[in-house]
Amino acid sequence: MKALLSVRPGGPDTLQLSDIEMPRPAPGELCVRVLACGINYPDVLIIEDKYQFKPPRPFAPGSEITGEVEEVGEGAGDWRPGDRLIALLRDGGGLAEQAVVKANTAIRLPEGFDPVEGAALMLTYATTIHALVDRGRLQPGQTLLVLGAAGGVGLAAVEIGKAMGAKVIAAVSDNAKAAAAGDAGADHVMIYSRGPFDKDGQRALAASFKEAVGPEGAHVIYDPVGGDYSEAALRAIAWEGRHLVVGFPAGIPRLPLNIPLLKSCDVCGVFWGAFMERDPEGHLRHVAQLLDWWAQGRIRPRVDTVYALAEGGQAIAQLAARSAIGKLVVCP
């Protein structure tokens, strides 16, 4: 079978399309034909050896797939060949024609649901529903400020925020992204300039966030961006608000702790992978809610571009450049 392999540390240009042996399922596992693989920011880091998990080479990146069951391992439950599923691959391997999935972690893809969109669902929407429900305690009528609102998790936050009854303020960096956030249902969209910012630029950015969210401030800030944007957004938080730390592709911020003191607010980390392992029942409740919202049309994963397997490096490069609107997906 074909697989796109990381053969040495480096950027997307170091990936090689190779022939490797087809996998076989061990007990409790499924061998699936990969229908689609979502690209996520850890894929950018892992091929450069900058991620916390460093698999032995050669390896295929990609951890979020939809697939069709081809072979069922012993003790893998009631799965049958031909069943379609959504799966997360702990050790990667999604940028390949076949993959092995742990049967007890796979989610059935409902009939009629697009497998390309399904490969763009789990990491973005499951991270976001955990963030907004469990960590942010978002309530109907509250104001939600979403940074990076046209990326995969950003659009998920706009849609889920609206599904939860919040007033959603989307912050993006250009007009095309503003249009996407508006299409996703944002109540108001603001465009900020790209950093880095000097002190005057930082003050101006904070002022623009304050103007966008209104005098009461943002009850919840969804921050998958980091860098200079985090402090500016935190200065626009409401009394007892919650600033959700989701990621920092713009850099790891250093927040002045006088702001949480003066606003009596929380800075909350969002580590969805650990939540999924520590509270699998809570995770499955969230997944059931997401599938219900998806069926109702209240959320719908937006896919920017679909790449062929040989073009998987281009997908990773586009994500690294932060130019995607929504998710990037590779279809073997």
pLDDT tens profile 52-111: 788 999 999 999 999 999 999 999 999 999 999 999 998 899 999 999 999 999 999 999
Residue percentage of the chain with pLDDT more than 70: 100
Partners of 2 in the beta sheet? 19
* 147: pLDDT strictly greater than 90: yes
Backbone angles phi, psi at 211, to 5 degrees: -65, -40
**Site of tokens 């109702």:** 296
- pLDDT tens digits for range 296-311: 999 999 999 999 999 9
Cα distance between residue 170 and residue 150, in whole Å: 8
The pLDDT assigned to 198 comes to 87
- Give residue 284's pLDDT band: very low, low, confident or very high (50, 70, 90): very high
- Give residue 317's pLDDT band: very low, low, confident or very high (50, 70, 90): very high
Question: What's the burial of 12, exposed, middle or buried (CB within 10 Å: 0-12/13-18/19+)?
Answer: buried
CATH number for the region 2-121+302-331 comes to 3.90.180.10
CA dihedral angle for residue 290, residue 294, residue 299, residue 301, rounded to 10 degrees: 100
CA atoms within 13 A on the CB side of 16: 10
Taking residues 197-201, report their average pLDDT: 88
Round the average pLDDT of the chain to a whole number and report it: 95
Residue ranges covered by each domain of the chain:
2-121+302-331, 123-273
- Give residue 197's pLDDT band: very low, low, confident or very high (50, 70, 90): confident
Taking residues 268-286, report their average pLDDT: 95
- Give residue 252's pLDDT band: very low, low, confident or very high (50, 70, 90): very high
Residue percentage of the chain with pLDDT more than 90: 90
CATH superfamily of 123-273: NAD(P)-binding Rossmann-like Domain (3.40.50.720)
The pLDDT assigned to 309 comes to 98
Predicted TM-score of the model (pTM):
0.91
* 249: pLDDT strictly greater than 90: no
Q: Is 13 helix (H, G, I), strand (E, B) or coil?
A: helix
